[in-house]
Amino acid sequence: MQTITTLQAVYNALEHVMDPEIPVLNVLELGMITDVKIDLEGVHIKMIPTFSACPAIDLIRENITNTVERELQMPAIVTVDKEVNWNSNRLSEEAKEKLRNYGIAAPVRHEGDVSLDLLEKANCPHCGSESTYLRSPFGSALCRALHVCRQCGMMFEQFKPL
């Protein structure tokens, strides 16, 4: 038996779908959800990956489906939105703060032109210093770069500005 639900109930359920690589962030905070519709077939959700070659996209899609179906007791149809590209400006301010608390530097807001200069600049999430340098444009995941802080000596990752 299908139940009637609201868009707010869907968004409430989506708050429980965490990123598998950064488990302090949910898909809403990451700006991954581009559309939600409810009809007689169920809940239709469009999502975008944070990086075009994200290896976790199938897992995230499955987690969205399972969470929405479990919490709302109705079918969920999750598709990748091919018309919207994710960029780091989609991260909420809450997400950026959670990244810093998790030890990952948040990307800076940009006006659409992403240059190497944006990738090289990252404030240390451990001590807040601006005196850091890019060690490698590739971190533990494709969407992150590796930096070192000259002030505290800590190595840290930065969520790449895209």
Kindly state whether residues 108 and 151 are assigned to the same domain: yes
Indicate whether 133 belongs to any domain.
yes
Residue 133 β-bridge partners? 148
Kindly state whether residues 139 and 96 are assigned to the same domain: yes
User: If 0-12 CB within 10 Å is exposed, 13-18 middle and 19+ buried, where does residue 160 land?
Assistant: buried
When pLDDT is cut at 50, 70 and 90, the band that residue 38 belongs to is very high
70 φ, ψ (degrees, to nearest 5): -65, -45
Side-chain half-sphere exposure of 72, counting CA atoms within 13 A: 26
Residue 126 sits in which domain range?
A: 91-159
Kindly state whether residues 35 and 97 are assigned to the same domain: no
Q: Is the pTM of this model over 0.85?
A: yes
Out of 80, 109, 129, pick the residue that ends a domain.
Answer: 80
State how beta strands 42-47 and 33-39 pair.
Answer: antiparallel
Asked if the model's pLDDT at residue 2 lies above 60, the reply is: no
Kindly state whether residues 104 and 61 are assigned to the same domain: no
Kindly state whether residues 70 and 102 are assigned to the same domain: no
Residue range 55-103, pLDDT digits in tens: 889 999 999 999 999 999 999 999 999 999 999 999 999 999 999 999 9
Out of 60, 80, 100, pick the residue that ends a domain.
Answer: 80
Kindly state whether residues 99 and 72 are assigned to the same domain: no
The two three-digit tokens of residue 85, written as one number: 């590209």
Out of 58, 80, 102, pick the residue that ends a domain.
Answer: 80
Asked if the model's pLDDT at residue 111 lies above 60, the reply is: yes
Instruction: Enumerate residues 6+ apart whose C-beta is below 8 A from 52.
Output: 85
Distances (CA, A) of 83 to 34, 49, 52, 80, 151: 10, 12, 13, 9, 42
Torsion of CA 123, 128, 132, 135, to 10 degrees: -70
Kindly state whether residues 100 and 146 are assigned to the same domain: yes
Side-chain half-sphere exposure of 47, counting CA atoms within 13 A: 31
Indicate whether 109 belongs to any domain.
yes
Mean pLDDT of the chain: 92
Report which secondary-structure segment, H or E, holds 11. helix 7-14
CATH code of the domain containing 33 = 3.30.300.130
Indicate whether 116 belongs to any domain.
yes
Look at residue 110 in the predicted model and tell me its pLDDT. 80
Number of helices (H) and strands (E) in the chain: give both, helices first: 4, 7
Look at residue 3 in the predicted model and tell me its pLDDT. 55
20: three-class secondary structure by DSSP: coil
Number of domains in the chain: 2
Kindly state whether residues 142 and 96 are assigned to the same domain: yes
Asked if the model's pLDDT at residue 1 lies above 50, the reply is: no
